[in-house]
Structure 1
Amino acid sequence: TLEGITGLSLTSLRDNWGSEYQRTNNAGVPDPNGSIYWGFNALVGLFFPAVTGIMAGSNRSASLKDTQRSIPIGTLSATLTTTAMYLLSVLLFGALSTREELLTDRLLTATVAWPTPVVIYIGIILSTLGAALQCLTGAPRLLAAIANDDILPVLNYFKVSEGVEPHAATLFTALICIGCVIIGNLDLITPTITMFFLLCYAGVNLSCFLLDLLDAPSWRPRWKYHHWSLSLVGALLCVVIMFLISWSFTVISLALASLIYYYVSLKGKAGDWGDGFKSAYFQLALRSLRSLGANQVHPKNWYPIPLILCRPWGKLPENVPCHPKLADFANCMKKKGRGMSIFVSTIDGDYHELAEDAKTACHQLEAYIEYKQCEGVAEIIVAPSMSEGFRSIVQTMGLGNLKPNIVVVRYPEIWRRENLTEIPSTFVSIINDCIIANKAVVIVKGLDEWPNEFQRQYGTIDLYWIVRDGGLMLLLSQLLLTKATFESCKIQVFCIAEEDTDAAELKTDVKKFLYDLRMHAEVIVVTMKSWESHVENSSSSAQPDDSQEAYTSARRRISAYLSEMKETTEREGRPQMVDGKQAVVNEEKVDKFLYTMFKLNSTILRHSRMAAVVLVSLPPPPLNHPAYFYMEYMDMLVENVPRMLIVRGYRRDVVTFFT
């Protein structure tokens, strides 16, 4: 049917290409160039059915004994033979007919046929019936094959088992053919069919072009004369001819093909034949990665790539791969949700024994990321302990400048309640590894109360800027404002200064700094009593506040821990040990560090009790202080603050200065 339709519709090709059947000049004299257009149409209009017939044969290649050998030889032989016959037909028709007959006689073949025109009529009928039967056997099988591949789920009704006749697909194909016949105008059907044939050929050529150009290892054509340029020319020719026939039909066909491709990518199942576009994406990613190099990225081009620890403290149900709010927070660190996050988790144990468990856990984590609609990838590491696993992750994760630059972990609020004595050493180990690896750190306290996209926050985002961090804390606050959750908030920057500091000068300097960064924020200078002043006035009564009780309890626990350490040292007759290493604990420095955290916490509660979120600098673990002490310091810092981000930058700027 398709061959008959395309072969008998020269007028459609002629009219749609914008050439009149007989060109005339202004005086009504026939244009001598009109025969050129007719000849061009006849190469295309007579020749096009032959190509469709060749492709129809390729669609039934499953019946061949040796497909790889038969298709190239058969296709090329058929193309050459057909080309020679049609060129000979053009020469013969030109030799035995006048120009007027060529332009006006639509069935010239019948006119010059021997012995009678009936021969041609019978031939046309038989050819049409043969083509129709051929399509009614090939098209249903092609439709059933597409359905079996699950490319288009809507075609599942046409699935058949191997060796079974596709009755449903045959009936559906017959209905389409009957519908086309009922239309009664082949010239309406021809452009549509022609477009999809040309689109099919363009797709085949484009696939060959991509696979050859991208040097895919799986692309190994047996035809040694193949070159990607030929495929590209073939694809371009198909598109050009489509526009020459009808630009409106071309646009509609391309739009429909794009919708089908989108539907397949959205609903279709991944087949085992590969995807040329994914190969192109892979090559593009590799080239982009090489172009990035390993040099330090300019602050203008800096993007946060968070490395998110999903189960660092292990107190989640086994079927929960990650804290439900971690992905929400990860999206808050990316402008408009764009950017890559790496979700990692560790499984304690032996890799040989737990490799399959790791794969299962990775699939669960990927499902969590997809459900949360967060752009990211999942990785599961098997290691003897959480500390060793993270140390491997922070050293090896990522490629070049696409390595993660921020480690995100929730604060272990449960460690004292659950009596998890191993958490302090793990917590300190993670922070120290990040410092050595030059990774920024963001510790989220109050993750359970972190708002989702529907919980709009009001008030302020308060920054307690204590040490220079390359602008990371400022940048995070600006990223929070880009989210609908925090867009109604305002930023306040608190500068902590000692009592003898010139507050007005400090405030002016910080305002100028923020102006150069093009960031809008209110600057507040807060003075805090130094440790020396506290020691001198220790006899005076301290002002009661919400942090005082927590501070007193922490001092009592630290004193008890120190006493136990001393007793153990004296009893065993060995040097004092701190987390397995020989060290001497300076009790005055311990008191100073705890007092600093206490005063900072009091300041935060006094000024930021109603803040939507508080950001504060993360103090590095002091040397020769037990990990238990550091957890006491951190607990003192976050005491009674419902939602806090504890941030440590790294040795580089992440914001651009404009002066």
Structure 2
Amino acid sequence: MRGLAVSAANYALLRIRGEGKHTKNWRPQLLILMKPDKALFPSHPQMLSFAAQLKAGKGITLVNTVLEGDYIERAVEGRAAKMILNDFMDGYGVRGFTQVVTSPDVIQGLTHCIQTAGLGKLRHNTVMIGWPSHWTDDPDQSARFLSVLQAIATANLSLMVAKGVDGFPESTDRLTGTIDVWWIVHDGGMLLLLAFLLQQNPTWKHCTLRIFTIAQLEDNSVQLKRDIEKYLYHLRIKANVTVVELVDSDISAYIYERTLQMEERSKLIQNMRLKKHASKNQLQDIVDNAHSQRDFIETLEPLEDVLEETEPVPVIGVLSAVDVPSSERIQYTYSNITQLRRETYYKQPQRKPDKKNVRKMHTAIELNKHIASLSKEAEIVIVNMPSFPTTPCNNENYMTFLEVLTEGIERVLMVRGSGQEVITIYS
């Protein structure tokens, strides 16, 4: 019987070898990167439990881990680690495959896993990793973490980063709270899809789905909420929609990225050859049409100017949103926690901080204020992950931004799509 099963599997793999999956049929196929402890056990086994809840036994789940060292010397440990991973997968009800890679450099080993995991069309499209909770104690940990994120982005894969994963629920738990989606960067609907898939599992089945979308004061917030509710009704998804209005400076760090996302999504729709009336019924178009028709491109600072801007400005006390000129509100979403504490909470007339860092951290503070106020009691918060830094000198600032953005939230799933995920009511 085993020979027959192998023959059938080989036949099926060859049949789908040249077929491409349609964008609208996108579902997360997971590659979970597990960090082993000194005893070769997974450091965060709750990631397996969360994967089982998200996948519900459907699709493919790959679990990989990397051992640092020489392959020949650690071959026995590698086989032992693989057996341990298999036992954990069976214990948590995860259906999939495991692989242990031994490499002299952990980052290179993880990069190899991202590139080569799977077989044929049975490959991952999403990578899930845990948040490095002790990165502030190790100056190099943030650089290693972001190197993995860069590799994932280069491979054009989606990303899920679980923060506070050790506190994620067991499969035997039954939650009754809320699943909160903070839709800051409108990326085609991946956040909504993940929340919907979680609700199909008994652990999350009785949770209420809440969607918080960000709008500017000049946007048509009433129409935006009405259109999203209508769209969710057609998808038969029950959710409470809340539109959070922020002034320009509060979300300025996301305007540049939102514009790029809109352009990429438009190209994707053209490639899909959707009819004009069909594309207007996509969730992304509903959001875009609600935003004001002003030209975002004309309000953006040139990329070179953003990176090279070093003019300091004195800051006394808390910097209010209205104090930031509209022409200076575009920036990247990373800053430094030390500067944050000194520049926004204490009066230091003698110090002249970089005005970019003040504006960037102001974005994180304002967004966290709303998230902590509205979602503090949520069972899980799903939020967008901003673009990764392109230079190593910004690594710590980027990590600090994410820490401030999610401060006070027990369970957070930070998500960054690949741009290939589209949710539409058309099949």
Equivalent position of 2:77 in the other structure: 357
Determine if contact 2:127/2:159 at 8 Å carries over to the other structure.
yes
Distance 1:320 1:532, change over 3 A: closer
Q: 1:450 offset after TM fit, Å?
A: 0.7
Of 581, 595, 602, which residue of structure 1 is paired with 2:369? Answer: 602
Equivalent position of 1:502 in the other structure: 220
1:266-286 Cα offsets, whole Å, 9 max, x none, are: xxxxxxxxxxx2222212112
Q: 1:338 offset after TM fit, Å?
A: 2.7
Distance 1:438 1:610, change over 3 A: same
Q: 1:388 offset after TM fit, Å?
A: 0.9
**SS in structure 2 opposite 1:607?**
helix
Task: State the structure with bigger RCO (CA 8 A, min sep 6), 1 or 2.
Answer: 2
Distance 1:596 1:360, change over 3 A: same
Determine if contact 1:294/1:400 at 8 Å carries over to the other structure.
no
Q: 1:533 offset after TM fit, Å?
A: 10
Q: 1:351 offset after TM fit, Å?
A: 2.1
**SS in structure 1 opposite 2:222?**
helix
Question: 1:528 and 1:306 mapped to 2: Cα distance?
Answer: 34
Equivalent position of 2:87 in the other structure: 367
Equivalent position of 1:328 in the other structure: 49
Question: 1:295 and 1:406 mapped to 2: Cα distance?
Answer: 19
Distance 1:541 1:631, change over 3 A: closer
Of 336, 339, 363, which residue of structure 2 is paired with 1:555? Answer: 339
Q: 1:632 offset after TM fit, Å?
A: 0.8
Question: 1:616 and 1:387 mapped to 2: Cα distance?
Answer: 26
Query: TM (normalized to structure 1)?
Result: 0.49
Determine if contact 1:431/1:620 at 8 Å carries over to the other structure.
no
Q: 1:652 offset after TM fit, Å?
A: 1.0
Question: 2:250 and 2:9 mapped to 1: Cα distance?
Answer: 56
Equivalent position of 2:404 in the other structure: 636
Equivalent position of 1:657 in the other structure: 425
Unaligned runs of 5+ in 2: 253-311, 321-334, 344-352
Q: 1:638 offset after TM fit, Å?
A: 1.7
Determine if contact 2:68/2:104 at 8 Å carries over to the other structure.
yes
Structure 1 vs Structure 2 CA RMSD: 2.8
**SS in structure 2 opposite 1:495?**
strand
Equivalent position of 1:288 in the other structure: 12
Of 639, 646, 651, which residue of structure 1 is paired with 2:414? Answer: 646
Question: 2:188 and 2:91 mapped to 1: Cα distance?
Answer: 34
Distance 1:517 1:438, change over 3 A: farther
Letter in 2 for 1:611: A
Q: 1:505 offset after TM fit, Å?
A: 2.2
How is 1:231-270 mapped onto 2 (pairs within 5 angstroms)?
none
Question: 2:72 and 2:153 mapped to 1: Cα distance?
Answer: 31
1:272-321 Cα offsets, whole Å, 9 max, x none, are: xxxxx22222121122222223443125643422111110xx6x352423
How is 1:184-203 mapped onto 2 (pairs within 5 angstroms)?
none
Question: 1:531 and 1:478 mapped to 2: Cα distance?
Answer: 31
Determine if contact 1:615/1:646 at 8 Å carries over to the other structure.
yes
1:428 is aligned to 2:146: yes
1:95-120 Cα offsets, whole Å, 9 max, x none, are: xxxxxxxxxxxxxxxxxxxxxxxxxx
How is 1:336-355 mapped onto 2 (pairs within 5 angstroms)?
337-355=57-75
Comparing 354-363 with 589-598, greater Cα deviation is found at 589-598
Determine if contact 1:459/1:489 at 8 Å carries over to the other structure.
yes
How is 1:308-323 mapped onto 2 (pairs within 5 angstroms)?
308-311=32-35, 316-323=37-44
Q: 1:476 offset after TM fit, Å?
A: 0.9
Q: 1:530 offset after TM fit, Å?
A: 2.7
Equivalent position of 1:453 in the other structure: 171
Query: TM (normalized to structure 2)?
Result: 0.73
**SS in structure 2 opposite 1:367?**
helix
Letter in 1 for 2:88: Y
Question: 2:3 and 2:234 mapped to 1: Cα distance?
Answer: 44
Of 227, 246, 268, which residue of structure 2 is paired with 1:528? Answer: 246
Q: 1:558 offset after TM fit, Å?
A: 9.6
Letter in 1 for 2:339: R
Of 27, 31, 50, which residue of structure 2 is paired with 1:307? Answer: 31
Equivalent position of 2:185 in the other structure: 467
**SS in structure 1 opposite 2:161?**
strand
1:622 is aligned to 2:343: no
Letter in 2 for 1:339: G
Equivalent position of 1:519 in the other structure: 237
**SS in structure 2 opposite 1:378?**
strand
1:319-342 Cα offsets, whole Å, 9 max, x none, are: 42352212111112213x333211
**SS in structure 2 opposite 1:394?**
helix
Question: 2:54 and 2:26 mapped to 1: Cα distance?
Answer: 13
Equivalent position of 1:384 in the other structure: 104
Question: 1:351 and 1:657 mapped to 2: Cα distance?
Answer: 50
Question: 2:68 and 2:166 mapped to 1: Cα distance?
Answer: 25
Question: 2:11 and 2:234 mapped to 1: Cα distance?
Answer: 35
1:613-649 Cα offsets, whole Å, 9 max, x none, are: 1100011213335211111111112211001110111
**SS in structure 2 opposite 1:402?**
coil
**SS in structure 2 opposite 1:400?**
coil
Distance 1:495 1:321, change over 3 A: closer
Q: 1:531 offset after TM fit, Å?
A: 2.3
Of 402, 413, 420, which residue of structure 1 is paired with 2:122? Answer: 402
Determine if contact 1:322/1:365 at 8 Å carries over to the other structure.
no
Which has the greater radius of gyration? 1
How is 1:113-124 mapped onto 2 (pairs within 5 angstroms)?
none
Question: 2:75 and 2:7 mapped to 1: Cα distance?
Answer: 30
Question: 2:420 and 2:370 mapped to 1: Cα distance?
Answer: 29
1:453-476 Cα offsets, whole Å, 9 max, x none, are: 232212211101122333221111
1:486 is aligned to 2:254: no
Question: 1:499 and 1:505 mapped to 2: Cα distance?
Answer: 13
Question: 2:224 and 2:108 mapped to 1: Cα distance?
Answer: 43
Distance 1:421 1:541, change over 3 A: closer
1:350-406 Cα offsets, whole Å, 9 max, x none, are: 223222321221122112212222112111111222211111111111123211111
Determine if contact 2:336/2:397 at 8 Å carries over to the other structure.
no
Unaligned runs of 5+ in 1: 1-276, 544-550, 560-585
Determine if contact 1:517/1:655 at 8 Å carries over to the other structure.
no
Letter in 1 for 2:135: W
Distance 1:408 1:533, change over 3 A: closer
User: How many matched pairs?
Assistant: 343
1:178-217 Cα offsets, whole Å, 9 max, x none, are: xxxxxxxxxxxxxxxxxxxxxxxxxxxxxxxxxxxxxxxx
- Structure with more helix by fraction: 1
Distance 1:494 1:554, change over 3 A: farther
Q: 1:494 offset after TM fit, Å?
A: 0.6
